[in-house]
Amino acid sequence: MKKLVLLCFIPLFLIGCSNEQTIQVSGVATDEEKRTEIEDLIRNMEDVYTGTAIMVEDEVLVAIQVKPWLGFKEQKVEKKLQKEIEEKYPDLNVVVSSDFKMHWETQKLLEEEDEKKVTDEVKKLKDLAKEET
């Protein structure tokens, strides 16, 4: 009986320990070089396991999720990533958020086709993120 329980739970445990990062960067009429560099900055953050960045004109909204056991550090990771992006691109207005709702909304915006709606939603989300802190 113990062997059966172990055989059932070990694969489930190993599946839950996946280290694969999912990073998506989208932009409306943005520079491809900036998009790839921002994606690399997010990917190089070891504590981030998923992230979404949306670039609209001179604004960047980045929503990240830190690894579950590092929840107590998510504010530090958020500030560190924001500082790195701002140092690399001082001409961009950057907001980085580790709020799950923000991540969820940015995921929905990736699928949106209407550029005007994406621009409006990014501005609303940036205002909400600033208000939250």
Report the mean per-residue pLDDT for the chain.
Answer: 79
**Domain extent for 126:** 20-132
Mean pLDDT lowest for which of 15-24, 40-49, 102-111?
15-24
Structure tokens at 71: 């929840």
Instruction: Provide the CA 55 distance to its chain's centre, in angstroms.
Output: 12
Which of the four pLDDT bands, split at 50, 70 and 90, describes residue 80? very high
Q: Is residue 75 part of a domain?
A: yes
Q: Distance between CA 82 and CA 87 in Å, rounded?
A: 9
- Please report, for the domain that includes residue 93, its CATH number: 3.30.300
> Which residue from 121, 123, 130 is spatially nearest to 99, judged by alpha carbons?
130
In a domain, 80, yes or no: yes
Say how many domains are in the chain.
1
Separation of alpha carbons 100 and 64, rounded Å = 8
pLDDT band of residue 28 (cuts 50, 70, 90) is low
**29 vs 78, residue with greater confidence:** 78
Q: Is residue 63 part of a domain?
A: yes
pLDDT at 30: 61
